[in-house]
Structure 1
Amino acid sequence: MVDVLVIGGGNAALCAALMAREAGASVLLLESAPREWRGGNSQHTRNLRCMHDAPQDVLVDAYPEEEYWQDLLKVTGGITNEPLARLAIRASSTCRPWMQKHGVRFQPPLSGALHVARTNAFFMGGGKALVNAYYRSAETLGVQIRYETPVDAIELDNGRFVAAHSGNQRFEARTCVLAAGGFESNREWLREAWGQNERGEWPADNFLIRGTRFNKGVLLKFMIDAGADPIGDPSQSHCVAIDARAPLYDGGICTRIDCVSLGVVVNRDAERFYDEGEDFWPKRYAIWGRLVAQQPGQIGYSIIDSKAIGRFMPPVFPGTRADTLPDLARALGLPVDAFMRTVDAYNAACQPGTFDHTTLDDCRTEGLAPPKTHWALPLDKPPFYGYALRPGITFTYLGLKVNDRAQVHFGGKPSDNLFVAGEMMAGNVLGKGYTAGVGMSIGTAFGRIAGTQAARAARGDTADSANTPAADAAGESTGAHRAEA
């Protein structure tokens, strides 16, 4: 019997396994995917949103706690647990040295990527490199790893973990960390969550999955059915507008369309439906998937002219190109007359200003509904480009309720040996919306807390003032220091 069983193979699971092992616990990690697909959605990530009060190597200026909190508050619309959110925010300021110790390397943001040089630390080699570094470190430290081992049931005794089941295999452990992701690749659950709209459509049928095909939500559903306290709206998710030509699974970052704020977005009836220039793209890109999901046929079209070229990270597929706007509408299959009315009204409403895509500039529309509040330039320089958009689900927000020790709750009572991290609890912080890199902040903070707390519970230790969850998230637990000595 091992001390700590970690179920899952992404960032949160790996952070939990590494912290538990550093604290002296024996650890077994079960990953549902084959080795070549290990890492869950973490393999598709690029960066971590980091609080910092002064410049730090790859981070410029400062990004203090209160600004981070206000950014999160804005995108979630207040649907967030402030103490848990602030715990993750503060942990983001101190985790990078620990990450580097385990082989993660950072680089400045790529030119033209996102305007996040101040807020986000980018992984050298992206999420795949981060995942590989953590697995190498885990293997070196003696973490046992089993691939192709999806867990479908948990044995519980009055809220305490006893064993996990994968088919006919049974895994006992003194404590357990659940970090097996959400249900984004479970089409039937997505259909149930989104239901049928007023047009008789099932929106989820047109969703693409940006992340892993292995997150079916089997363990999440089992835990909720077993009486674990749930949190979050099953229809809420990290949902991005991505290229309609993207693959069904694992398209990742390169399928995202980043030119939305530089032009207009129309639905299949050639009508605009939201303010493309509401705020900086890293703060708003994750609302566009849901917006497109609410449109007829769950499809939209991002339209730009040649002035936008070079101002956004180009996606993997080239856009549809035409020398005139009517020709572009025809190439995209849009009603030409309606399209021209929309674009002509937008062009006429654009007010003179000083364009600057790095600031909330004064280029706006007047007398247009919906407005475009920033970066509004007429679409008048050929050639013109269009990108068909579909909703791309990254991860779902329905999860398990936790406290600051990452404990699973049953009827409001925290379990003393069952913990949860990553997507399976992110809904405590992310009730809706998203801002770039915050998912990795949550997974890293609560993965580290869960691993340390699980190791402590396996030893029979009780929490004390020297071993707070904040210290766990910062890598400052006594166990961690003993392991490093």
Structure 2
Amino acid sequence: MPTPDKQAVVDVLVIGGGNAALCAALMAREAGASVLLLEAAPREWRGGNSAHTRNLRCMHDAPQDVLVDAYTEEEYWQDLLKVTGGLTNERLARRVIRDSSTCRPWMRSHGVHFQPSLSGALHTARTNAFFMGGGKALVNAYFRSAEKLGVQVRYNAPVNRLEIADDHFVAAHVQVQRPNGSTGTERITARACVLAAGGFESNRDWLREAWGTNERGETPSDNFLIRGTKFNQGTLLRHLLNDHGADVIGDPTQAHMVAIDARAPLYDGGICTRIDCVSLGVVVNREAQRFYDEGEDFWPKRYAIWGRLVARQPGQIAYSIIDAKAIGRFMPPVFPGVKANSLKELAGQLGLDGNTFMRTLNNYNNACQAGTFDHTALDNCHTEGVLPAKTHWARPIDTAPFYAYALRPGVTFTYLGLKTDETAAVRFGDVPSDNLFVAGEMMAGNVLGKGYTAGVGMSIGTAFGRIAGMQSAQAATKSGASHANA
């Protein structure tokens, strides 16, 4: 084992640089602890996946500034219960929900500003508070506030292992660049530590291990795109699970996975790669067949199931098909879609079998029942006599020009993580550590066993980041007192 170059000492060490990590660092510092935050990325890429976010799902019992009407605890819980299919810890989920109703004044005190829901963001004006300037503005505000308060921040500082004795955090080993260009290790001791280093979605080998090979002999994960940072390699998560026996939660194949523009970059495409017209048309695979109900529920509640749906299709690709009637009813993608004056022409441009494509579209069109179309409600426009059914917003695709958008699975973050409780403590053999805590994507699987609803990831990160920050400061105080009395 290499000898560390040097050793640093701090009250609270925060590992990570996204929303959860920053909330933890700010809370710990406000509580009086000295804090060092280690961000694996360089400064220009700081913020992790949080830099790509745009809103926070908030409980509120009455209208509040940018939020309209009310969104009660019970409605929030039912929405979460529905998308997770019951794979959630109700106690922790309700803690997140309740904390979402009180966190925004604190966020504002650290420079975060909010704005009303975007006009193209369907059905979120009541449930989600949008950050002015998006997630990048949020993390920049938090970093500015942290540095002003005296939080030490170091970039290009990936941590590859921890020293843990009897479930008690002792030290972290961080990679450093020596003046001669070689790589060294620095040992950092702390009275308490918060882990907020994200999931493993950018680790291609781990994705292949989790997803394996399908019945067609394909390795599905090879066709996954990563919506966020390339720095979420899951190094510490693997280390905690394999080398220290930390308690685990979640399925390694479950993730916040969205059907995104197939032309998106491998990493950091972010929110702009989403294709939001699925509920306004039909989706077919490369065999020109429909495979799921496009109108099952409002898009913010169901958009995150489509990544996994596409991941199960041949070649992990699908095509969202709409006609001219849908234009102007959804947030337009960054890149224009394939456009044609006939459905047959559209099939040709997509390289799909024309006869099968036309049979699929004709069957769908003929199955559409007359109703009152209303994309802001669960309307009565549905299909009959075709599988899969389309239960809402079903209108014939019959008005030129026609458009198609190729879709690939886009992974935001993985749900395999560290099991925790309301104190955010990492658990070993169901025993909570007294000074090692976890927040954000590294523990989101406690609340999200599967599925997703817009803005809940930021709710989890904010709630447990703040909890972990407070708990770590208290643990550091106890540790300092015990050392002083020793």
Matched, 1:449 2:467: yes
Question: What is the alpha-carbon root mean square deviation over aligned residues?
Answer: 0.8
| Equivalent in the alignment of 2:241 | 224
> Could you list the per-position Cα deviations for residues 253-288 of structure 1 after superposition, in whole angstroms to 9, with x for gaps in the alignment?
000000000000000000000000000000000000
Equivalent residue of 1:4, what SS? Answer: strand
Post-superposition offset of 1:114: 2.5
Aligned letter for 1:235? T
What amino acid is aligned across from residue 443 of structure 2 in structure 1? M
With the length of structure 1 as denominator, give the TM-score of the two structures: 0.95
Aligned to 1:358, the other structure's residue is in SS state coil
Measured in 1, the distance between the counterparts of 2:290 and 2:436 equals 48
1:393 and 2:411 aligned: yes
**Equivalent residue in structure 2 for 1:16, among 24, 27, 30:** 24
Q: Is the 8 A contact 2:38 2:157 kept in 1?
A: yes
Distance in 1, matches of 2:479 and 2:454, equals 37
Residue 461 of structure 1: how far off its partner (Å): 8.2
Instruction: State the percentage of identical aligned residues.
Output: 78
**Partner of residue 211, structure 1:** 228
2:143 aligned partner: 135
Q: Could you tell me which of 260, 269, 283 is aligned with 1:265?
A: 283
| Aligned position for 2:402 | 384
* Alpha-carbon distance in 1 for matches of 2:121, 2:313: 28
* Whole-angstrom CA distance in 2 between matches of 1:461 and 1:382: 70
Q: Does residue 75 of the first structure (1) align with residue 93 of the second (2)?
A: no
| Structure 2 residue aligned with 1:174 | 191
SS of 1:21's equivalent in the other structure is helix
Q: What CA deviation, in whole Å up to 9, does each residue of 1:189-237 have, x standing for no partner?
A: 0011111000000000000000000000001000101110010000000
Normalized against structure 2, the TM-score is what?
A: 0.95
Counterparts of 1:231-310 in structure 2, within 5 Å, are: 231-310=249-328
Give, as a single letter, the amino acid of the residue that structure 2 aligns with 1:61. Answer: D
The runs of 5 or more residues in structure 1 that have no matched partner are 463-485
1:45 is aligned with what amino acid? T
Note the alpha carbon deviations across 1:359-409, whole angstroms, 9 max, x for none: 000000011110000000000100000000000000000000001000000
Q: Map residues 314-353 of structure 1 onto 2, 5 A cutoff.
A: 314-353=332-371
> Which of 6, 15, 25 is the equivalent residue of 1:7?
15
The residue aligned with 1:201 is 218
The residue number in structure 1 matching 2:123 is 115
Partner of 2:484: none
Give a deviation string over 1:318-338, Cα, whole Å, max 9, x none.
000000000000101111000
Are positions 1:32 and 2:34 aligned together? no
Q: The residue matched to 1:394 in structure 2 has which SS?
A: strand
- Indicate the SS of the match to 2:159: coil
What is the total number of aligned residue pairs between the two structures? 462
- Distance (whole Å) between structure 1 residues aligned to residue 313 and residue 74 of structure 2: 35
Alignment correspondent of 1:374: 392
Instruction: State the AA in 2 paired with 1:368.
Output: V
Cα distance in 1 for residues equivalent to 2:173 and 2:462: 26
Q: Distance in 2 between matches of 1:133 and 1:388?
A: 36
The counterpart of 2:427, out of the listed 405, 409, 413, is 409
Structure 1 position 94 matched with structure 2 position 102: yes
5+ long unaligned stretches in structure 2: 1-8, 176-184, 481-486
Task: Report the counterpart of residue 162 of structure 2 in structure 1.
Answer: 154
Distance 1:61 1:180 in 2: 36
* CA-to-aligned-CA distance 1:58-83 (integer Å, 9 cap, x gap): 00000000000000000000000000
